Chains A and B, each alone.
Chain A
Amino acid sequence: MSKKYIIELSNVWKTYTIGKVDVHALRGLTLNVKRGEFLAVMGPSGSGKSTAMNMIGSLDIPTKGVIKLDGQDISKLHESDLAQIRGQKIGFIFQKFNLLPTFTAKENIMLPMTFQKMSQEEKLKRAENLLSLVGLGDRMNHLPSELSGGQQQRVAIARALANNPEVVLADEPTGNLDTKTGNIVMQYLKKLHKTQGKTIVLVTHDSDIAREAQRIERLRDGALVNTKRGNKK
């Protein structure tokens, strides 16, 4: 089972207590993602998409249930261990790009490698290669403020790949971009999946974007509704 699935969520609950009221963001979510799969998670606002994403990305731990990443139970790990796992196995792409504003494109990509104690030489080489991969070889020393939204998101994609993770989590990666630029970003994600065999989990509310994935899961009230096939095999 573990060899086939890189991500396994079994009966995962996440409950927030607001005042005296318990709010269940996830209600017994069970979801498995195969190694090398391209999955889209859809759902209306408040359906628990982002919470599920945080759980898969080891940014948060569940109130109840088990989460396995590459066969390792990460449900009860300490924050420092989770940080280590995030740094090595997961690459994040956010809707608002989330690049550090005072760092150049190259430096932004080097930062995750810094946290993994990579040598300066290797960091530079990898950052330059990754920027070339996303077509920004000529924008290496530009600050995020000097790049367009699409270019910033491509830097974010390159940063997500900095430590060569097995899983790339993209949270509304085209949400802040126009359709044309959004399509370009999606092409890069598809290329990643196809050429590098990365497992990609894409959270979106846009069904056109979701259709680019192999499988689409819908969330409602913190649990899966049904499973659909995407366009791609």
Chain B
Amino acid sequence: MRAEYIKIAFNNILKRRLRSWLTMIGIFIGISAVVALISLGQGAQAAIDEEFAKSGADRIVIQPAGGFSTSPISVEMTSEKLVERDIEIVKGVRGVDVVTPMRSKIARVKFKDETKGLFIIAISTDKDVLQRVETVDFLRVEKGRQLTPQDQYKAIAGKALADDLFERSVAIGDKLIIDEVEFEVVGIQKDSGNPGQNAMVRIPTDTAKELFEFGDDIGTMMVWVKDAKNIDDVADRIARVLRKEHDVEVGQEDFTIQTASQIVEGFKQIFGAVTAVLIGIAFISLIVGGIGIMNTMYTSVLERTKEIGIMKAIGARNSDVLQIFLTEAGVLGFVGGLIGLAIGAGISKLVEFAIGVQYGISLIKAVFPTSLLVGAMVFSVGVGILSGALPALQAAKMNPVDALRK
């Protein structure tokens, strides 16, 4: 490609400024949407990975296959459940460090004169469990303290429960009445970002067993492994011993074992699918943008028929004319892409900032890898050239005598 062809392209684009802008709008809407979605998508995935690496890499969750056994009724409805003996068995698996049951139930919680149906959870208050609890985002404490083995009718309130759920804020030392039994609030949970987790009440396991008559049913089991690197092997070993204990074959398990990485992968898959659909929609606008370029180029060929004739008269070959028009279409794509890139990056940064302001934390960090920037530019120039191909061919094949007559 010759510098003159780029100059011809810019000359013509600048000469028809309004039309050129309108033509490029299609391209830069498409490119900005694609860039923003990809950069935010990748940023979100990086944030998930980072969060996972921080707190969940060494955790395994074991649940009954039939769902949560949160109440006597649901226990009756689902035959599968995990029992006290399963805890001992899992504790004996090589690589397992700490195990706690996590029982849960929805119960009536009264504060002052208000009563609400809330989620109550109970985990072990053993020393080794307490050490691990602080690594789980929804179990951390912001004010007050964690539950201790000596605690009986004590509770930890979720952040939203304490601040917003009741008319009056719940503070350390306040009393909550759970199913007619009084509990003293000794701690307020940290904001976990999850509305469900922020509205729950945590009480000691023994108190919960007594209050809700859980019996042998332990609900869910949380397991911490000694070395996060071996988590998948440990999960396999747990599955093996539980299958043997429950006398079930592979594929017939009455329990599910999930490592944090599997949970994250599942989430990332859903997130990836949503992002892909959105990017697909953005690509449609790029195609529309391409058609816009094609339309403009056809108009340009018609308007510049005489110019094409002149160029041919002074020695331009068909290939020269083809290159001139392809360059022009490519330049439209290039400039459109460049603007789209800038707008897309701006949108990403704005979303990153807005999320930061809304949640007070930098949850998503917009990322702009070189591959995204280069890819977006190559793609927009490609769309331009591809869309300009047919009009350029028409120009190139023009008969010089006919063209000069226009």
Interface size range on A against B: 20 to 34
Identify which of B143-151, B194-202, B270-278, B306-314 touches chain A: B306-314
B315 near A88: Cβ-Cβ < 8 Å: yes
A86 near B314: Cβ-Cβ < 8 Å: yes
B315 near A98: Cβ-Cβ < 8 Å: no
Question: Does B163 make an interface contact (CB < 8 A)?
Answer: no
List 4 A-B pairs, minimum CB-CB distance, nearest first.
A87-B315, A102-B11, A115-B315, A112-B314
Interface residues of chain A, those whose CB is within 8 Å of chain B, are 54, 57, 59-60, 79-80, 83-84, 86-88, 92, 94, 98-100, 102-103, 107, 110-112, 114-116, 120, 159, 162-163
Known A-B contacts A98-B306, A110-B4, A114-B2; the reply to A84 vs B315 at CB < 8 A is yes
B317 near A98: Cβ-Cβ < 8 Å: no
Interface residues of chain B, those whose CB is within 8 Å of chain A, are 2-4, 7-8, 11-12, 15, 306-307, 310-320, 399-401, 404
Query: Which residue on A lies nearest to B405, using beta carbons?
Result: A50
B314 near A92: Cβ-Cβ < 8 Å: yes
Known A-B contacts A59-B400, A102-B15, A110-B4; the reply to A115 vs B320 at CB < 8 A is yes
B11 near A103: Cβ-Cβ < 8 Å: yes
B313 near A111: Cβ-Cβ < 8 Å: no
Q: Which residues of B contact A92 (CB under 8 A)?
A: 313-314
B11 near A87: Cβ-Cβ < 8 Å: no
| Bound form: Cα–Cα A176–B312 in Å | 22
Query: Which residue on A lies nearest to B309, using beta carbons?
Result: A98
A-B pairs with beta carbons under 8 Å apart, 23 shown: A59-B313, A59-B404, A60-B401, A79-B399, A79-B400, A80-B317, A80-B319, A83-B317, A87-B315, A88-B315, A92-B314, A98-B306, A98-B313, A102-B11, A102-B12, A102-B15, A103-B11, A107-B4, A107-B7, A111-B4, A115-B315, A115-B316, A115-B317
A59 near B401: Cβ-Cβ < 8 Å: yes
Shortest B303–chain A CB gap in Å is 12
Known contacts A80-B319, A111-B4, A163-B315, then 11 further A-B pairs from the complex at CB < 8 Å, ordered by chain A residue: A54-B401, A79-B318, A79-B400, A80-B317, A83-B312, A83-B315, A102-B12, A102-B15, A111-B314, A115-B311, A120-B3
Which of A100, A159, A162 has the most B CB atoms < 10 Å from its CB?
A100
Shortest A127–chain B CB gap in Å is 12
Q: Which residues of A contact B11 (CB under 8 A)?
A: 102-103
Q: Which residues of A contact B15 (CB under 8 A)?
A: 102
Which of B2, B8, B317 has the most A CB atoms < 10 Å from its CB?
B317
B310 near A98: Cβ-Cβ < 8 Å: yes
| Bound form: Cα–Cα A190–B2 in Å | 35
- Give the residue of B8, B12, B307, B314 whose beta carbon is less than 8 angstroms from that of A115: B314
| Bound form: Cα–Cα A88–B11 in Å | 26
Q: Which residues of B contact A59 (CB under 8 A)?
A: 312-313, 400-401, 404
